[in-house]
Amino acid sequence: MPEYPESSITFHANFDLDDWLSYIEALHPKDIEMGLERINQVKQRLNLELNFPIITVAGTNGKGSTCAMLEHIYQAAGYRVARYSSPHFLHYAERIRVDGIEIKDADLIKAFQAVEYARQEIQLTYFEYGTLAAMWFFSASEVDIAILEVGLGGRLDAVNVFDPDCTVVTSVDLDHMDFLGDTREHIGVEKAGIFRKGITAICGDLEPPRTLIDYANKIGADLKLIKRDFEFDQQENTWAYQSKEGLLKDLPMPGLIGEFQLHNAACVISAIGSLQQRLFVKPDAIHQGLKSVSLQGRYQYLSFQPDIILDVAHNPHAAKSLAINLRNTKPTGKTIAVFAMLADKDIAGVVKAIAGEIDVWHVAGIQNARGADAELIKSFVNAELPNSVIQLFNHVENAYHQACIDANENDRIIVVGSFFTVAEVLRVIQTRQI
């Protein structure tokens, strides 16, 4: 672990991790402040040595799944793999991993101290601060590859201050419209902002916005589109990947549930192929990584009889995929939704997407400044399903407890609507296990 100047030790020497997180959260007056000027200045002061390739992944949905598959496959190939993701559920350390292991508190504090010493008078947002801390730690950890998940958009996201060796845009749909624009064309060019001249730019959207394609062509990126430059063919229990570079047959289905995961997996294999000259990966590693991959909060089964499933779907695009999963795994009993969302999301669009798969709604408020209250969410459910069965709760925890009481062994509970919603249930479960 490289050292930083001794004088930096005086920065908040008595802070524990909770102190640091509170401190960096209060540094900037805004939670989100788009732009790369601030973080680029501090990055230059840190003088990071990044002697490893970077894969940057953006997209409305599918980013987390894609990053997880890349991580597992490169680990199976024997490489030391760094992964940066957001948001976290219970612990900040979930965002920063090397070899699948979350960063230790002591190392995270060292990384924060290094950023604090470098930033001096510059105000950084919470995400910018954390991104620099992650890259400082990855540099110190001598990793072979880093997989970076874009937080919001792409062009002006903090992650984009680091030049990638391969880029992936998994999908383009409507979300974060206050920041990215209110059409797929506007959002597409924001996500394409991670592309670089001469660098492989992969897009897994079946109908990519024209703006994304035009931007890639304008800057001279090596654009690869699904169904044009690479494709997959699904069989009963296996699938095949094909591109101009070759054919991979009899691939195992990814460990993550959902038909759309094959789109993500195809993008992953395309990305790995683009870096084969630098980091060679055998087919066996691809097989092993696909089978072993898991990701918290993405159609994640907690238990069976009754089935308890967690899914962070918080926009209509993700909710449509969730509805397909619910339809394909339908129980003999009823489906109870523990449902809570943020007020700045398209609640009506999410409700419409999953309405046909839900029998009973346990609607709750989220204890967050952005949270929608239960009455507001109920109005959207009633508008879509006038005769639906709805119970209201002040807290997600209470909604979940009641759902567990109401469900019998043939029923299922789906916890859905937000990272905050899923995190609350995970917190309840963790508390029970202690």
Q: How confident is the model at residue 433 (pLDDT cuts 50, 70, 90)?
A: low
Digit-coded pLDDT (tens) for 226-246: 999 999 999 889 999 999 988
Which amino acid does the sequence have at 179?
Answer: F
Asked if pLDDT for residue 80 goes beyond 60, the answer is yes
What gap in Å lies between CA 109 and CA 21, rounded to an integer? 10
Q: What is the rounded radius of gyration, in angstroms, for the C-alpha atoms of the chain?
A: 22
Interval 34-75: pLDDT, tens: 678 999 999 999 999 899 999 999 998 899 999 999 999 999
**Cβ neighbours of 329 (radius 10 Å):** 15
Residues in Cβ contact with 72 at an 8 Å cutoff, skipping those fewer than 6 apart: 100, 288, 289, 290, 292, 293
Averaged pLDDT for residues 317-338: 95
Residue 404 confidence (pLDDT) = 96
Q: What is the largest CA-CA distance in the chain?
A: 66
pLDDT above 90 (res 426): yes
CATH 3.40.50.2300 corresponds to the domain 300-433: no
Provide the pLDDT for residue 201.
98
Q: Residue range 262-270: average pLDDT?
A: 97
Model pLDDT for residues 177-193, shown as the tens digit of each residue: 565 667 889 889 989 99
Position 175 confidence tier, pLDDT thresholds 50, 70, 90: low
Q: How far apart are CA 390 and CA 382, in angstroms?
A: 9
Least confident of 104-118, 161-175, 211-225, 409-423: 161-175
Delimiting residues of CATH 3.90.190.20 domain(s) in the chain: 300-433
- The predicted structure's pLDDT at residue 156: 86
338 forms beta bridges with 362, 415
Say which CATH class 6-292 falls into: alpha beta
- Quick one: the chain helix, strand, coil %, rounded to 5? 45, 20, 40
CA distance 227 to 232: 8
Q: What is the pLDDT of residue 35?
A: 72
Domain with CATH 3.40.1190.10 in the chain: 6-292
Instruction: Check residue 254 and report its DSSP letter.
Output: P
Looking from the CA of 397 toward its CB, the CA atoms found within 13 Å total 9
